[in-house]
Structure 1
Amino acid sequence: MAETKQESSLHVVVFPWLAFGHMIPFLDLSKRLAQRGHDVTFVSTPRNAARLATIPPELSARIRVVMLELPEVNGLPEGAECTADVPLEKVELLKKAFDGLAAPFAGLVAEACAGSSSDTAGFLRKPDWIVLDFAQNWIWPIAEEHKIECAVLLIFPAAILAYVGPKHENEAHPRRTTEEFMAQPSWIPFPSTISYRRHEADAIAAIFRPNASGVSDVDRFWQLQRPRCRLIIHRSCPEAEPRLFPLLTELFGKPVVPAGLLLPNDIDNDSVLTTDQSFLGIMQWLDEQPRRSVIYVALGSEAPVTADHVRELAHGLDLSGVRFLWALRQPVGHVGAVLPDGFEARVTGRGVVRARWVPQVRVLAHGAVGAFLTHCGWGSTVESLFRFGHPLVMLPFITDQGLIAREMTARRVGVEVPRNDDDGSFRRDDVAAAVRRVMAEGEESEAFERNARELQKVLGDEVRQEQYVDELVEYLQRYK
């Protein structure tokens, strides 16, 4: 990949929200910008910076990490620095702490613009761009004071921005009832899958109300309508979401552009296999399984999974009779055993539960894996379906996950587990039935696999995906 000429090299400050589902794609974009000869300053907190993947040596001269200490907030657990560290009800306190980074961040920007930054603790030079997340409603006065252009990178699919819509459309068509939050918004002028089930609509309505941080998530979103925000960038592409990019550009009155899917470029680090003997054993177990016979199960780091969810899912996997590898995350705040009594003994030989970190891309790349039981986070959908063509068993929980599940169901690449429409609960029998539909031999499962492979051929085109990054760089050069 040819580097951009030095005289046109940009300095881009990249500042994600404190969630792994946000930090990882922000870092992936940072690496791609650095590969093209641009300097990137990645801003986060100390614990999060330590938990992210290391910068490849060949990019270390281009990417520097600046760490800001997260302020203490009453009620936020000690040491909590990302959404994976707290239960769902405390995420609003994390946003309150995040807002406390405004002053130290402003100090870094002021030093850089005055030419007095430290070589070790600050920005090396004035940024050309700040690429921020949805949450930093406090960055805009800082950027305006120093005349720095801003772009908002949304790691969600474009469908969620289409659902939220711009402020003026919400004022003209306010949503007050659950039914109104369930429906496709009136400003989407064509048929789509952009709607929510009842239990999801109740949850999505909450992002329109102020929380403990003093502001609603939607009010944070709507800050991207400020003039200083020159671009809205999505981790997506028109092939994944037809018709949405032109619509959003019209609705928000500024370019809404794809960064591409930021597909994983490599399989996870081999050092995991040499330093973690327990995972080496799991890979050996996978090696012994028939091709495409195992369903990989993982519900991400952000989904609000409870102990009851885990137990019902375990019973469903048991009843399905299917081989599985389960990356089990202990529910936040739960103490003690979470799996049903005797579960692991009953599934010995055909099921493996891994309660520690799993290199997900490596597992998904293994030939024994034939499907993915997922919460339908966008990152997991990109890694499994778009990268490897795996059909899905879908168990969505929050935010964009329901929208993604509806769209993937419409594309016939998998099955969504039925849920109680009022409280969102699900039954073990329905989990088992969904798993068998995707994994069992027969016309339906073959159709799911065929459709998933066809979609992967289109969206997994790495050359086209890298072209989206090239086109994004052209926007950054043009609008700086």
Structure 2
Amino acid sequence: MEEKRAPHVLIFPFPAQGHIHQMLTLAELLCLSSIQVTFLNTHHNHHRLLQFTNIQSRFARFPGLFRLESISDGAPDDHPRPSGFLPDLTAMMHLDSIISPHLRNLILSTRHDSGGFTCIICDGIMTFAIDVAKELGIQSIAFRTISASCFFAYLSYPHLQDGEDLDEKALTVPGMEKEKFFFRRRDLPGFSRQFRESPLMSDSVLEFCIKETFNSARASALILNTTEDLESPFLSQIRTKFHKVYAIGPLHSLAKNLRSPKIPQSHNSSSSPNNGLWEEDRSCLAWLESQPPKSVVYVSFGSIAVLTKSQLLEFWHGLVNSGYRFLWVRRPGSISGGDEAYSDDDWNIPAERGCVVKWAPQEEVLGHRAVGAFVTHSGWNSTLESMAAAVPMICWPKAADQPVISRVVGELWRVGVDMKDVCDRSTVEETVRYVMGGGGGEMGRSTAEIAEVVRRSVSEGGSSYCDFQALVKELKSGCR
């Protein structure tokens, strides 16, 4: 009889910060479950992780269970890699021809050295890895880092009609008739004029994302960083096309829950792990400590979004005019025309009113007692972290899955305001005052209720907790 091998999972994220963030957390969860993990990055992102995070010390508590590998993305080392360190915005559609041979060689060499991988968990927009796994006789699981609502929207695209009226109903969700919830054209990637102007969501990129969504069905299972308790109607529709779906999120909350009893107190500090590609400026936490409870608006547009100087200043004046304190993440390269497009005079505000940093430990910021609202691009990581912390959102999406998420946040969960396609200082001022004032009381109740839903889902017996245990069981039982 063939000897049973210990599970060894290769995790392979798409080379952008939001994707790496989620899949590193999954790697930690698998290590906590005694599953060996090899985490594969591009060379460029591998070096940034080593430079800006505590990844080595963080995973040192799993001796023999975690290792890092890297692979070329086809661009020279000195390439500037804008927009989240992609070689360029169209290269994402051609990574298969660049990476597939290197991925195949890595898998074969590992098989020779240590018995090989028993499963590949690949990013769901890099489905060429599923083909490589099939060729080499290895189980594959697709991991999509978007919400179930957005995944459902991509699955629905072949049935949608384009049109001029962006506020016309474009997509209804079966099973949600009582909520009277629907997506307008402006809520879907590629329909809004603003998003069509963005190279992040050109027609070709949109078509690629739709194709990869359907290609994910070639894997043996699908992982989504969400919970049944939040996105049940969307997950029900996804399961009509994917026979096995694991909804195991929010991953950062699940990791907190599973990490606590297994890690000695000396290693289990209150600070959150940094999964990012930017160096965090933790001085902002000291600034928050000096602010009154629920008095600060946190502003961050994520790791990829780029604003014009005009948009930047409309937000700036709207925030200043609102009268509230704010903590603003102004990432290098986040302003079109370069950082020289503004001067310090444009940001003249007393230190007690505002704090500006290049990058912040976001999970800790959102969990701080001083933070009362979050101005966000509606990335899925940011949305999950905000909901878990019961912080209401002001949503200003830029591209990709963000317009879908902002609609769900504002109209379904009612834990924020969807401000898409609007950018003027008076609207910013009015919206900040409304959200910081609790939205008439309803928003405060909704954010508290959603945070409790998240807490229950990742606790023992919760839907995400149970789905994760089922995933671990599959990874362990599938070994040959």
2:15–2:85 CA contact under 8 A, matched in 1: no
For residue 398 of structure 2, what is the aligned residue in structure 1? 397
Match of 2:374 among 372, 387, 403: 372
Shift in CA distance, 277/10, structure 1 to aligned 2, threshold 3 Å: closer
Give the alignment's TM-score, normalised by structure 2.
0.82
Q: Matches of 1:408 and 1:444 in 2, distance apart? A: 14
- Equivalent in the alignment of 1:121: none
Q: In the alignment, does 2:65 pair up with 1:62? A: yes
Residue correspondence of structure 1 range 38-117 to structure 2 within 5 A: 38-52=35-49, 53=53, 54-55=55-56, 56=58, 57-72=60-75, 78-80=78-80, 83-85=83-85, 90-97=88-95, 99-113=97-111, 115=112, 117=113
Task: Report what 1:362 is aligned to.
Answer: 364
- TM-superposed CA distance for 1:430, in Å, is 0.5
| Aligned partner letter, 2:62 | L
Residues 209-224 of structure 1 mapped to structure 2, 5 A cutoff = 209-210=203-204, 216-224=208-216
Structure 1 residue 357: deviation in Å? 2.2
What TM-score does the superposition give when structure 1 sets the normalisation length? 0.82
What runs of 5+ residues in structure 2 fail to find an aligned partner? Answer: 257-268
Mean alpha-carbon deviation: is it higher for 366-375 or for 25-34?
A: 366-375
Q: Which position in structure 2 is the counterpart of 1:202? A: 191
Q: Measure how far apart 1:238 and its partner are.
A: 0.9
Residue aligning to 1:120: none
Among 4, 13, 20, the alignment partner of 2:17 is 20
User: Equivalent residue for 1:471?
Assistant: 470
- Say if 2:264 is the partner of 1:261: no
Q: Superposed, which structure 2 residues align to 1:302-313 within 5 Å?
A: 302-313=304-315
- Which residue of structure 2 lines up, in the alignment, with residue 430 of structure 1? 427
Q: Are 1:141 and 2:138 an aligned pair?
A: no
By how many angstroms is 1:429 displaced? 0.8
**Mapped partners of 1:278, 1:31: distance in 2:** 24
Worse-superposed segment, 431-440 or 8-17: 8-17
Find the aligned partners of 2:172 and 2:441 in 1 and give their Cα distance.
37
* AA of the residue aligned to 1:372: F
Shift of the alpha carbon at 1:477?
4.2
2:139·2:220 contact (CA, 8 Å) conserved in 1?
A: yes
Q: What amino acid is the match of 1:22?
A: H
Alignment partners' CA distance in 1, 2:392 and 2:270: 20
Structure 2 contact 394–435 (Cα < 8 Å) conserved: yes
Q: For each residue in 1:189-211, what CA deviation from the matched residue of structure 2 results, as whole angstroms up to 9, or x when unmatched?
A: 64434444179543678969445
8 Å contact from structure 1 (residues 41, 63) kept in 2: yes
**Distance of 1:188 and 1:82 partners within structure 2:** 39
| Structure with more relative contact order (C-alpha pairs < 8 Å, separation 6 or more) | 2
1:256-286 per-position Cα deviation (integer Å, ceiling 9, x unaligned): 2212210252643699xxxx99743x33322
The percentage of aligned residue pairs carrying the same residue is: 23
| Partner amino acid, structure 2, of 1:305 | L
Q: Return closer, same or farther for 1:406/1:269 CA change in 2, 3 Å cut-off.
A: closer
Aligned-CA RMSD value: 3.2
Q: Distance in 2 between matches of 1:306 and 1:446?
A: 34
Cα distance change on mapping 1:152 and 1:343 into 2, 3 Å: same
Residue identity opposite 1:342 in structure 2: D
Please name the residue that 2:386 is paired with: 384
| Cα distance between partner residues in 2 of 1:368 and 1:207 | 35
TM-superposed CA distance for 1:431, in Å, is: 0.8
Aligned to 1:216, the other structure's residue is in SS state helix
Distance change (3 Å), C-alpha of 1:397 and 1:267: farther
Determine the structure 1 residue equivalent to 2:147. 157
Distance 1:184 1:474 in 2: 40
User: 1:279/1:58 Cα in 2 relative to 1: closer, same or farther (>3 Å)?
Assistant: closer
SS across alignment from 1:263: helix
Give the distance between the partners of 1:277 and 1:247, measured in 2 at CA. 39
Equivalent AA in structure 1 for residue 354 of structure 2: G
Equivalent pair of 1:267/1:365 in contact (CA under 8 Å): no
Within 2, Cα distance between the matches of 1:332 and 1:70? Answer: 25
**Which of 32-41 and 333-342 deviates more?**
333-342
What is the deviation of 1:64? 0.9
Shift of 1:240: 1.4
In the alignment, does 2:452 pair up with 1:453? no
Structure 1 pair 9–458 and aligned structure 2 pair: CA distance change class (3 A): farther
